[in-house]
Amino acid sequence: MSPTEEVITTRRLTKRYGKDVVAVADLDLSVRRGEVYGFLGLNGAGKTTTLRMLLGLIRPTSGTAVVAGRRPGDPAGLAKIGSLVESPAFYPYLSGRENLKVIATYAGVPHSKVDPALEEVELLDRGKDRFGTYSMGMKQRLGVAAALLKEPELLILDEPTNGLDPQGVVEMRSLIRRLGTGSRTVLLSSHLLSEMEQVCDRVGIIRHGRLVREGTVDELRGEPAVTVRATPLEAARRSLEGMLGAAAVTTVDGTLRIATDPERAADINAALVQAHIRVSELRPAERSLEDVFLQVTGEGEAA
């Protein structure tokens, strides 16, 4: 199999509810084998609807999707997919272990895989307790354990850190990174930017049901740059344009943004001082995924 083989491909995937509500619109998504792909968007952006369509739980209004080589919902395809969509749903009167046995029976997986899955998410000692007594974090971890039962080629995880305490979030990120090694593919949906930044190889940003940006975290952050605050600003701009070219210098909120490697900061400082320009601030311009997200989604605040 080619390392760039696409495990998930959607073409113009659309889901409408009635005439007015478009949950997902013309979505073209490509997730490659072996990568951890982050699906980023505000609440209500269409992430969960997309994931449900990929699993065959809801039917698209139009467009196509191929998941693990099959159409969504095909039993042969589902056999290769582990998923946790939205909140984890299990039988409250059964223990965690018994719930996994029920799921394993549906999936045709031997029950011997239940305890290792519980151990993976550190629930082995609570496996005998009823699911109804679990905390939200434990329920979330049981959901991940259920997703792992099939030793899937593709893991689809929707907000897996929901309800986890800070320690649990760190452990979950570490688990997702571990699960994403080798040929396993992980599609991770979240509205938590830090989660995406730390875990994902590539990120797609969805807004109002449309994929508005896609790339690696570095690609999304854009070219490296340096921020300069100097007086007089206009003289500084002319000096740096002469040094690096006009295209490399832009004025942003009373500072200059210089598109260059931060390692050239000393050269920039020397040039400005030599031109009798006072430099009050000179630092690498770090553009976080949050900046990109806010710019792309046009929202006032990140969720």
Give the binding site for another protein (CB under 8 A).
52, 55-59, 73, 75, 78-79, 81, 83, 85-94, 98, 101-103, 105-108, 146, 150
Tell the smallest beta-carbon distance from residue 154 to another protein (Å): 12
Q: How many helices (H) and strands (E) does the chain have?
A: 11, 13
What is the distance between the alpha carbons of residues 10 and 102, in angstroms, rounded to a whole number? 31
Tell the smallest beta-carbon distance from residue 40 to another protein (Å): 22
Tell the smallest beta-carbon distance from residue 155 to another protein (Å): 12
Tell the smallest beta-carbon distance from residue 114 to another protein (Å): 13
What is the distance between the alpha carbons of residues 43 and 260, in angstroms, rounded to a whole number? 36
Amino acid at 254: G
Q: Which is nearer to another protein, 78 or 228 (CB)?
A: 78
Tell the smallest beta-carbon distance from residue 264 to another protein (Å): 52
Q: Which is nearer to another protein, 149 or 236 (CB)?
A: 149
Q: Which is nearer to another protein, 60 or 204 (CB)?
A: 60
Q: Which is nearer to another protein, 98 or 201 (CB)?
A: 98
Amino acid at 75: P
Tell the smallest beta-carbon distance from residue 5 to another protein (Å): 22
Q: Which is nearer to another protein, 92 or 232 (CB)?
A: 92
Burial 108-123 (b: 16+ CB within 10 A, else e): ebeeebbeebbebbeb
Q: Which is nearer to another protein, 158 or 197 (CB)?
A: 158
Tokens, residue 94 = 């059964």
Looking at 171-298, which runs of residues are DSSP E strands?
Answer: 185-190, 202-207, 210-216, 226-231, 249-252, 255-258, 278-284
- Torsion on CA atoms 279, 280, 282, 287, rounded to nearest 10: -130
